[in-house]
Amino acid sequence: MTISSQPAKASPDRRADKARNEADNPSSLVVRFGADEPLALDSGSQLRDWQVAYQTYGELNEEKSNVVLICHALTGDQHVANVHPVTGKPGWWERMVGPGKPIDTRRYFVICPNVLGGCMGTTGPASTNPATGRPYGLDLPVLTIGDMVRAQAMLLDRLGIGKILGVVGGSMGGMQVLQWAVAYPDRVLSAIPIAAGARHSSQNIAFHEVGRQAVMADPDWQGGKYLELGTSPRKGLAVARMAGHITYMSDQALHRKFGRNLQDRDKRTFTFDADFQIESYIRHQGSTFVDRFDANSYLYVTRAMDYFDIAADHDGRLANAFLDCKTRFCVVSFTSDWLFPTSESRAVVKALNAGGASVSFVEIATSAGHDSFLLEEPELDATIRGFLAAVARDHNVT
């Protein structure tokens, strides 16, 4: 049994900042929700006439019991294991998802939605506000991880999918995984949060604020109305990406790859050009990012991460969030991750144990830093493959 939806329409025009909404993203499937199907937001607002873009891989079995939901990270999207329609590059987790891979599409039906507030087809600040006919910009209500997960649940409802065999995600994706298990404990059979925590730390909030201020300080941001005015805060968004990307790597990884090597020269130039290789690398990360991501989406999605705090909704006690939780967990962390250090994962494991949940914990020794879940890590591959296979076997999914 396969699932299909109407693909998004193609459009000849490109917005100034190359933000991709439904019209610019013809390769994704899109489910639309009308004015009579509002999405209730944590802010107290409601979102009407909204949509979710998503990708699927593999086939849904007759029992609809083989669903693996993948939740993407901050700057990711739904293009997990296909050629990205904007960059032309392979999907961001192609090494993990596909036939014979750890998340084996010969066995599992994999679905990955673009998050609410994103810029690859799901309603976000670059989308058209039905009330005005113009891009939302900052008129879009501020969103949360809970809102993102609620939108995903409504998508699965529309697709006729009830229980989920496994929810998997790293970083912000891991936050969504935890939110899924807390908000829909009877729906999630297993959860794999990777390189994540139950709340955002003050340090991480500070890094995000630096990025947001860089975007908003760019004169071309125009108070968030740059799409209407035909400008693009490329410089500000590039700086935000540069600052953020540094946190995804470890000091060891940066030193091993770049050290203090000069860029294609033997001597210093005594200018502010990119003398060092690391400078050139970081500048490249910033300049390529602005071609595929919307600046306002960056503001909204980072803010959603900042607000994330599972314990806050459970009398300040994380264990209360997982009381009598029937979901089976595999929590994964990396030794060199200083953005979401192992202590954050251990706190989740401790709370799960206190709540009586079934939980496994894997700390993977690596020098690659936070982004390890996107890189070649054989222990991570084996962990995900084995854990999902055990859950599938226990629930008679063949």
Choosing from 218, 297, 370, 371, the catalytic residue is 370
**Tokens of residue 117, six digits:** 């507030």
Contact (CB, 8 A) for 19 and 297: yes
In whole angstroms, what is the distance from residue 220 CA to residue 230 CA?
9
Percentage with pLDDT > 90 across the chain = 79
pTM given for the model: 0.92
Amino acid at 234: R
Residues facing 29 on adjacent strands: 7, 54
**Concatenated DSSP letters of 60-99:** --TTS--EEEEE--TT--S-SSS--TTT-PPPTTTTTEET
Q: Is 309 a catalytic residue?
A: no
To the query of whether residue 370 is one of the catalytic residues in this protein, the response is yes
Residue indicated by tokens 């590059």: 89
pLDDT digits (tens, 9 = 90+) for 220-249: 999 999 999 999 999 999 999 999 888 888
Has residue 22 got a pLDDT over 70? no
pLDDT in tens, 352-386: 999 899 999 999 999 999 999 999 999 999 999 99
Bridge partners of 347, per DSSP, are: none
Q: What is the DSSP letter of 119?
A: S
Asked if 337 is an active-site residue, the reply is yes
CATH number for domain 22-200+310-394, candidates 2.60.40.770, 3.40.50.1820, 3.40.470.10, 3.40.50.150: 3.40.50.1820
Catalytic residue chosen out of the listed positions 171, 232, 297, 333: 171
CA atoms 235, 236, 240, 241: torsion sign: negative
Q: Which helix H or strand E contains 134, and what residues bound it?
A: strand 134-135
Short-list 253, 219, 250, CA closest to 236:
219
- Tens-place pLDDT, residues 169-217: 999 999 999 999 999 999 999 999 999 999 999 999 999 999 999 999 9
User: Closest Cα partner for 71 from 119, 101, 28, 112?
Assistant: 112
CATH number of 204-302: 1.10.1740.110
Q: Which of 220, 337, 345, 372 is catalytic?
A: 337
User: Structural domain boundaries of the chain?
Assistant: 22-200+310-394, 204-302
Residue 317 DSSP symbol: -
